[in-house]
Amino acid sequence: MTKFEVKILGCGSALPTTMHMPSSQLVEMNGKLFMIDCGEGTQLQMRKLGARMSKLHSIFISHLHGDHVFGLPGLISTLGLLGRTADLTIYAHIEMETLLRPILNFFCKNLSYNVNIVPITKSGFNLIYENKSISISSFPLKHRIATTGFLFKEKENMRHIKREMIDFYNIPIREINNIKLGADFVTPEGDVIDNLHLTTPPNPSRSYAYCSDTAYDKSIVPHIKGVDVLYHEATFAESELNRAEKTAHSTARQAAEIAKMAEVEKLVVGHFSSRYTELETLLHEAQAVFPKTELAFEGKVIAL
Amino acid sequence: MTKFEVKILGCGSALPTTMHMPSSQLVEMNGKLFMIDCGEGTQLQMRKLGARMSKLHSIFISHLHGDHVFGLPGLISTLGLLGRTADLTIYAHIEMETLLRPILNFFCKNLSYNVNIVPITKSGFNLIYENKSISISSFPLKHRIATTGFLFKEKENMRHIKREMIDFYNIPIREINNIKLGADFVTPEGDVIDNLHLTTPPNPSRSYAYCSDTAYDKSIVPHIKGVDVLYHEATFAESELNRAEKTAHSTARQAAEIAKMAEVEKLVVGHFSSRYTELETLLHEAQAVFPKTELAFEGKVIAL
């Protein structure tokens, strides 16, 4: 299987602490790095955690709160100093263009590459990026301002052709890809060999969903149904349920309820309030509902 | 003597590394913190190095390059979350208002305090802030865009009154401040006691100068003459003299030449290029010209 990996660069909330950095993470698929959110210090975290700047493909911004975007000017500037030439696309809500462009025009004059800012549709489930092997989609979350979650999904993988069948039927190389895609094989004698006889099922398509920041919102469940890993914000413990509701954030238990309803394989919780110096309470509250819960931390690598 | 101390938060240059953060430092005088420059991650450095956010009085921006300002939105936002109520004044070149205000209006709505942005005059030596005990002035440096250095200076201190003279002449408390300011004392019998007989000289007025970023520029010498500590950029070693000239930066030797001409007490060099993994060469090149040179580093505290 190809590498499909998430690296947490920051999983704190609005107020950074000595324990946690503002939100940012890298999703590696097909040798490319897709960044989700870019809080202050993201470029420093990339260096510290050994993430290769040259592999950065594009950036997906969940919403326009400072702790998810203030790292953009510094990162963009640094990529220029490093001589990047490939376009960089930033997917973000519509106001990003008006906010970021004047900063880039002033501070990042003569950048060696183009920055494209592509607006995210605020409602519905939308495909925002795809190539031949992956797709990235957005869907609305429930926060104080327009916010979207992201679903990173492998496209259906090819079936595995059985080595011994290639030999037995003397299958020519030019036919192999078609058979992997599901075609039957017709022998020179005109016999049709069923594909199911020649192949085994493909590796399952892996998927990763990012839901931060958001209040408890059951309407996202269909979008993230059965994902391998769900990252869901858990800003508060259950004792701060009122505050979670008021600020449109989630408790750890609520994140776990969503994971359970969506029947995901694994839940990773993050976006921790600065009030928590230890996170055991949040973890236990989530695990009571959904045992396969883990805490995010800076540097955590989640292999899918 | 009251505390007069400089804490280095970041002394790297445009490209941050795992060794150095972008430019920022705190000057503590009279219990207030004056910040010079605010590169990305400055608020994180304040937390890490235990600098009290509540003591931050105002911010002085040398010039509008990203590595000196990208930390402002995050810091301003955090001060709001911490409930600051005192106005925060940012002294910066005129374009700062147009660049920063839209960011604050969008990301820092309902801030609990006012941010005032006061333009710095680009030419000449100008007093930009004073209170009864200190003054802060700006003067032009020589960089690719308008850049200013800053001089932090104690005002003349009061003379010390001799304890035994108070007793001997039975000097009333109401007269003591006048005598500290230089007045003679007249006894109830009409005898005039010369101030020099009653007092010893005041502590010398201490001063600190910040010169970054700048090319080698002798014209700054009169402004920083005899300061206790000069922080001068030394982006490059002498082997990169051409590059220093081309980018309007200084070599370590050039920084030392300025320190020598200005007859300062101590030189601290910083703003190191990311190309240097060790800084001994820079230190030795500077010390060959001006022995009392030290290297800046993140967390360094310079007591004046």
Question: Residue A92: is its pLDDT beyond 90?
Answer: yes
Residue A156's pLDDT is what?
A: 85
B238 and B103 together in one domain: yes
pLDDT class for B179, splitting at 50, 70, 90? very high
Alpha-carbon span A201 to A160, nearest angstrom: 6
CA max distance for chain A: 74
Q: In Å, what is the CA distance from A194 to each residue of A156, A165, A266, B192, B240?
A: 20, 11, 37, 121, 70
pLDDT in tens, A136-147: 999 999 999 999
pLDDT, averaged across chain A: 96
Q: Are A185 and A172 in contact (CB under 8 A)?
A: no
Q: In Å, what is the CA distance from A199 to each residue of A175, A193, A250?
A: 13, 11, 45
Ranges A14-18, A196-200, A236-240, B218-222: which has the least confidence: A14-18
Residue B115, domain CATH: 3.60.15.10
Instruction: Identify the active-site residue in A67, A213, A217, A228.
Output: A67
Nearest chain A Cα to B79, which residue?
Answer: A15
Min Cα separation B76/chain A (Å): 10
Look-up of token digits 């839940």: A267
Chain B residues inside the 8 Å CB shell of A14: 77-78, 81
Alpha-carbon span A185 to A178, nearest angstrom: 9
Q: Identify any residues that bridge with B112 across adjacent strands, giving them in sequence order.
A: none
pLDDT in tens, B153-167: 999 888 999 999 999
A102 and A248 together in one domain: yes
Residue B1's pLDDT is what?
A: 79
Phi, psi of A81 (to 5 degrees): -60, -30
The answer to whether residue A66 neighbours chain B at the CB level (below 8 Å) is yes
pLDDT class for B296, splitting at 50, 70, 90? very high
Q: Which of A200, A217, A252 is the last residue of a domain?
A: A200
The answer to whether residue B64 neighbours chain A at the CB level (below 8 Å) is yes
A299 and A178 together in one domain: no
B112 and B151 together in one domain: yes
Alpha-carbon span A162 to A182, nearest angstrom: 13
Residue B107's pLDDT is what?
A: 97
Q: Any idea of the CA torsion for A275, A280, A282, A287, to the nearest 10 degrees?
A: 170
B169 and B46 together in one domain: no
- Across the range B265-281, mean pLDDT stands at 96
A283 and A227 together in one domain: yes
Among the listed residues B89, B46, B44, B41, the one whose alpha carbon sits nearest the alpha carbon of residue B69? B41
Alpha-carbon span B213 to A126, nearest angstrom: 47
Min Cα separation B136/chain A (Å): 27
The answer to whether residue A47 neighbours chain B at the CB level (below 8 Å) is yes
Instruction: Supply the range of the domain harboring residue A284.
Output: 4-157+203-303
- Across the range B228-251, mean pLDDT stands at 97
What interface predicted TM-score (ipTM) does this complex get?
A: 0.90
The answer to whether residue B40 neighbours chain A at the CB level (below 8 Å) is yes
Alpha-carbon span B268 to B14, nearest angstrom: 19
pLDDT in tens, B26-78: 999 989 999 999 999 999 999 999 999 999 999 999 999 999 999 999 999 99
The answer to whether residue A70 neighbours chain B at the CB level (below 8 Å) is yes
Instruction: Please state the pTM of the whole predicted model.
Output: 0.91
Q: Would you please indicate which residues of B are annotated as catalytic (active-site) residues?
A: 67
pLDDT in tens, A30-84: 899 999 999 999 999 999 999 999 999 999 999 999 999 999 999 999 999 999 9
Nearest chain A Cα to B105, which residue?
Answer: A99
